[in-house]
Structures are given as C-alpha cells and as structure tokens.
Structure 1
Amino acid sequence: MTYADLFRLDGRRIAVVGGASGIGRESARALAAQGAEVLVADRDVAGAEETARLAAAERPAPGAETGAVSVHPLDVLDEAAVRTTADGWGALDGLVVTVGANVRKRMADYTLGDFDRVVALNLRAYLTLVQSVAPGMAERGRGSVVGLASMRAFQVEAGQSVYAASKAGLVQLLRTAAAEWGPRGVRFNAVAPGVVRTPLTDQIAADPQWYEAYARASALGRWAGAEEIAGAVAYLVSDASTYVTGSVLTVDGGWTAVDGRYEPSL
C-alpha cells in the first residue's frame, strides 16, 4: 500500500443501506468515486435507483468493472429479508448503514408505538444487519462496518429522548461488535453528525427560527450538507483507517465543542 492509494477502494464491495437519499446517497457517490463497487439498498427503490445513477457518474472509469453500482430493494425491519438479501450480496468488504427515524415529542407525550418505531430503525435494524454481514467478514479476516449515530448520542435537548437513547445505544452496539469481531479483523465505527440537511431534518429546516438557532450553535455557524459527512464514511471503510475501530467520528461543525457558549466582551 502506498500513500497515494490510501483512500482508494478499487476492488472493494461495499453495501450502503439507506442509500436512497441524504447521507446514504452521498456516501454511495463518494465510495463509487474512490473505485468501490457499491450496492445501494433501500425500501425506496426509486430513490435507490437515482442514487445508483448519480454514483455511477462518479466512477473513475465509466463502463469499467471498477466502481460498478447496483440497486437492492430492502426493508430493514424485515429480518428474513435482511438475511436473504445479505446472503445474496456475497462477500462484502464494507457495510455502511444510514437508516434512521426521529419522533420529536416530549417524553410525557411519547407512545409505545413511537418508541418502537424509533428503536426499530435506529437500533434493531443495525443488529440484524451486523448479524447478517459480520460473520462472513470474519471468515475472510477483514471488513469495515460504519453506522450513522448522532451528536445526540452525547448531548440532548427536549423532545429528543428516544432518538438520543437509540443513538447512544447504537454507539455501544458498534463498540461491542468491535470488541467481539476485532480479533478476526472486522472493524466497527460510528459517525456522529451534527445538524445536516436531509429528509430527516426537514421539520426543523422548515422553521426559520429553529433553522437559524441550530446554525448558530456550531463553531462553523452553519448546517452541514450531506456530502460533508460522506468523507468520514469513505475514510472509515478505507485503508486509511485500518487501526480505527470501536470509535466515534464526530462530524458536527464543532457543535459539541462550543454548544451553550457565551462570548463575553474581552
């Protein structure tokens, strides 16, 4: 391995689950640009097909085998479908999971249905996917799994109870997986974004005051674009991070460093 190739993914097969939009879509594009064969999996088939079209355009050599992109319909809440689809994928070098949900309510107003929906997508689906993919990676002695957590795993606000708890749980799930499969060469890491413009944050972005308040809360004074998270994902599945496992890469524009700050007149 030379440093010039440190981030290249030529010859690697990487599945992106939740790839129909947002961070998943941009991750698929970034991985394809580095030469990976990308498997775009999502329940939203039309969205996944659009992602595949965009990712294919990023390929280093259009028409060549390197960087091939394919679409795989998948409902991550269907355990049998997850296991069957994962079997069909064959040998994977990487798995990126970006699925998630949030129900913004005060705890007193939360229903068990709300709770189950958020935990199912933010935590249970990750367990099923890891169980379906990690053993095969371990047999081959290599592999990298990246899950999308959130800065809310560490820093909360009103209305974020179950979302924050599920993301904190995801961090510990991936850390435990790192401990269990690390001796067999499989790495597990989380990316913890701050506020990012995706379909999941449309509710916030539609409120000008809310949008501006969140922008001001980070050190950079703005929201992130989904493409700004894709680089962290590409890094964690590349050879640039071969000694990184059980970690959380925070990509939040400095929010957790400066949140709640007061700037006195000096």
Structure 2
Amino acid sequence: MEEQPTFTDLFRLDGRQALIIGAGGIGSEAARALSDHGAQVTCADRDRVAAEETAAAVGGASLTLDVTDPEAVRQAAENLPDLDIVVLTAAMNVRKRIIDYSPGEFDRVVDLNLKGTFAVIKYFGERMVSRHRGSLIVFSSIRDQVVEPGQSVYAATKAGAVQLVKTAAAEFGGVGVRVNAISPGIVETALTGQIKSQPEWYQAYATKNALGRWSVPSELAGAVVYLASDASSYVTGTTLRVDGGWTAMDGRFTPPTD
C-alpha cells in the first residue's frame, strides 16, 4: 500500500526546478527558502554579481537576464525547459508626480514592471503549459490597490501585472498551471533607502500598517514557498498580500472608541 503524504510534505519541493528572476533582496531570501524546502534553484538577475552570490548561497546555477529584453526572456525559457517554479521579483520605481514625469521615465518603469512581467508569463508560461504543470509567482505591491502622490506609473504597472496574473491563471489553469501574485507592503531593502533616510517618512510608513513596523525580505519567503508548493494546489489567480495589514486599515489616525 502506497504511503500517504503528510501535511508537512505539502510544502516540500524535492526534485523540483525553480527559477528566481531578481535574485537580490527579496529574491535572495526566496531562493534560500525554496532551496531549503528541496528545490534546485537557478538565480537570474540583470546584475551578474547578485545572481552569482545568491546562486552560491543555495548551491544553484546563475544566469544574467534582463527581462526588458523579450528575446533574452524567450531564450532563457528555451534553455530552461523543465522548470516547475518561476518567481519574478524584479521591478523599479521612479517617484515623481505625474506632471513631473518624463516620457523616458515612464517607458523605463513600464518596460520592466509591465512588459517584463508579460514576457516572463508568456515565455515561461508557454513551457509550463506544454508540460501541464508549474507555478508562476509574480511580485506585485500594495500599490496595485492603494496609492500616494508620486506613485502613478509604478502603481499602474503593478495593477496591470495583477491583471496579467489573473488572465494567465484563467488561460493556463485547464492544464494544471497556476499563476499567482504576492503583494508586499513596506520591506527593508536597498530600494527603500530613500525612505529610510528620512525618519519622519520611515516612521509614517511603519505606523500605517496594523503591525506597526516594516517587514524584512525573509518574511516574504513563506508566501513564495506556499504558492510554489502543493500546499496551494487549489490556489490560482489570487493576490496574496503580505503587507502587515496595510491595505486593511483606513488612515493613520486611531480614533477614540469610548
């Protein structure tokens, strides 16, 4: 009689092939988590050093990849045809009000955050569909739902990425390929250095969420493992918010309740 898997086994990724695109910061922690759960991880980044450092930490391969180049993404998908898990964390932001935005800045943000997401879903999704299995995980942001001054193009691309995820889930689901998004809140990474350098701004963000603090990259890793594993076998087309309750709260003021 075949032994039934335990619930602990649902999170195991033994024998599965994973690709992390955006191997620094959050991507580095995601790679470590997937590796610790048994996956063989390839680490990709536009920054060759970042890809190599994370790959060395998890005993995996590295790949220099710029997702703004659709042909490079297509070639990477062709060279890695047996992937079970693809995680896309790469993104950028230009914080400017709409009237101050230049067309060039608009194009840079859209090319990475939206066109890059489309290319990854298209080319890696095509391979997964042909094999009738796989999990695609795209990092979005709380800005896919809530905004503030200076977030127009970034927020638009993140909302667009979520819609791409939903559509891919609808199109790929019939053959067993799942597509989901993760929406972090405020995370301690190099990309948030501008905020951390201004104590008032930094503290305002901390007090906006229910937990009253920033997150660290390792706190996103559990969501990646969950969506990559059989523990989420019936989850697709969803956005998993790892935001400390940011999008659950209405404003920064706590009114009296007496």
TM beyond 0.5: yes
In 1, distance between residues paired with 2:214 and 2:254? 20
Q: Provide TM-score, normalisation by structure 1.
A: 0.93
2:258 pairs with 1:254: no
Note if 1:50 corresponds to 2:47. Answer: no
> Residue 176 of structure 2 corresponds to which residue in structure 1?
185
Query: How big is each residue's C-alpha offset from its partner over 1:106-153, in whole Å with a ceiling of 9 and x where there is no partner?
Result: 111011111111111111011111111112211211100000000110
Task: Name the residue aligned to 2:199.
Answer: 208
Confirm or deny: 8 A CA contact 2:77 2:127 kept in the other structure. Answer: no
**Corresponding residue number in structure 2 for 1:63:** none
- Structure 1 runs, 4 residues or longer, greater than 6 Å off: none
Q: Give, in whole Å, the separation in 2 of the partners of 1:134 and 1:24.
A: 19
Determine the C-alpha separation between the residues in 2 that align with 1:175 and 1:3: 28
Tell me, yes or no, if structure 1 residue 14 matches structure 2 residue 18.
yes
Among 24, 28, 33, the alignment partner of 2:31 is: 28
For 1:56-75, what aligned pairs fall within 5 Å after superposition?
Answer: 56=59, 69-75=60-66
Offset of 1:261 from its aligned partner? Answer: 4.5
Say whether the 8 Å CA contact 1:41–1:74 is kept in structure 2: yes
Matched to 1:122, the amino acid is: N
Q: What is the percent sequence identity of the aligned residues?
A: 54
Structure 2 runs not aligned, ≥5 long: none
User: Is residue 11–residue 37 contact of structure 1 (8 Å, CA) maintained in 2?
Assistant: yes
**Which of 236, 257, 266 is matched with 2:227 structurally?**
236
Q: Where does the alignment leave 5 or more consecutive residues of structure 1 unmatched?
A: 57-68
**Structure 2 counterparts to residues 1-266 of structure 1, below 5 A:** 1-19=5-23, 21-56=24-59, 69-265=60-256, 266=258
Aligned length: 253
Superimposed CA distance per residue, residues 202-248 of structure 1 (whole angstroms, 9 cap, x where no aligned partner): 11111111111101111100000011011101110100000000000
CA distance in 2: counterparts of 1:259 and 1:162, whole angstroms: 23
Contact residue 218 and residue 259 of structure 1 kept, 8 A: no
Bigger shift: 247-256 or 69-78? 69-78
Give distance in 2, aligned partners of 1:85 and 1:156: 34
Per-residue Cα deviation, 1:173-195 (whole angstroms, up to 9, x for no partner): 00000001110111100000000
CA contact (8 A) 1:192 1:248 kept: yes
